[in-house]
Chain A
Amino acid sequence: GQQVMQIPQYQHVQEGEDFTTYCNSSTTLSNIQWYKQRPGGHPVFLIQLVKSGEVKKQKRLTFQFGEAKKNSSLHITATQTTDVGTYFCAGPSGNTPLVFGKGTRLSVIA
């Protein structure tokens, strides 16, 4: 079935630096979702992308969906300590509504 791969697995940045995580699927996705999970917390929905080439922004966060709808990225500008957590992409696969990637764990050094 469809697999969702995320890179990098870990990222350590200095506060104020930018951060990007990438998500790649083995098959075309009808849509892709992004979630954030703080340490000790549960996944929280950030955004959904549906259209080929779509770009959405939420303050310092920019989300992109590839033209072929097989990849996506999340870019954070000028990271803050509040951005710490694990970022997951997720997409449907066959009869399964949502398959999650393994996530990218972001650490921000103040």
Chain B
Amino acid sequence: GAGVSQSPRYKVAKRGQDVALRCDPISGHVSLFWYQQALGQGPEFLTYFQNEAQLDKSGLPSDRFFAERPEGSVSTLKIQRTQQEDSAVYLCASTILGGMGNQPQHFGDGTRLSIL
């Protein structure tokens, strides 16, 4: 597709349920990033991949958060045993090359997650 695609756009789950959020980056983009954005805040880094390798997961809030990109293209962010504080917009971004923070990031529209 032309841009980064995320699904679902909206997700409502009950506390304790597991959720999976999908990101389809721009075709051919090497690096993929996940961010969490709370209302009125800036995007908070969660993790990123270069191809299928997860190079940094220091931003994942707890071991309930898990991300994968098994074939170096589509990525899934999974949150287990969701809690109310997980409610946020989850943004995915991709860059055409690998490397460290020196390229424009192209963002998807995000998944708005609400935990009841």
**A→B interface (CB under 8 Å):** 30-31, 33, 35, 41-45, 48, 50, 88, 90-92, 95-103, 105
Q: Which of B31, B42, B93 contacts A88 (CB 8 A)?
A: B42
Contact status B101-A102, CB under 8 Å: no
Separation of A85 and B77 alpha carbons in the complex (Å):
27
In the complex, what residues of A have CB within 8 A of residue B59's CB? 96
Separation of A95 and B53 alpha carbons in the complex (Å):
14
Q: Which of B45, B93, B104, B106 contacts A48 (CB 8 A)?
A: B104
Q: How far is the CB of B49 from chain A (nearest CB, A)?
A: 11
Let me know if B62 is at the binding interface, CB within 8 A.
no
In the complex, what residues of B have CB within 8 A of residue A30's CB? 100-102
Of B31, B33, B93, the most chain A CB neighbours within 10 A belong to B93
In the complex, what residues of A have CB within 8 A of residue B55's CB? 95
Top 7 nearest A-B pairs by Cβ distance? A92-B101, A97-B101, A100-B42, A45-B104, A42-B107, A102-B42, A98-B101
In the complex, what residues of A have CB within 8 A of residue B48's CB? 96-97
Contact status A100-B91, CB under 8 Å: no
Closest to B109 in A: A42
Contact status A97-B100, CB under 8 Å: yes
Separation of A42 and B35 alpha carbons in the complex (Å):
11
Tally B residues with Cβ within 8 Å of A: 28
Separation of A88 and B5 alpha carbons in the complex (Å):
22
Contact status B44-A42, CB under 8 Å: no
In the complex, what residues of A have CB within 8 A of residue B106's CB? 45
Given A31-B102, A96-B58, answer yes or no on A42-B110 (Cβ-Cβ < 8 Å).
Answer: yes
In the complex, what residues of B have CB within 8 A of residue A31's CB? 101-102
Q: How far is the CB of B104 from chain A (nearest CB, A)?
A: 4
Contact status B45-A98, CB under 8 Å: yes
Let me know if B17 is at the binding interface, CB within 8 A.
no
Contact status A44-B101, CB under 8 Å: no
In the complex, what residues of A have CB within 8 A of residue B104's CB? 33, 45, 48
Separation of A98 and B44 alpha carbons in the complex (Å):
9
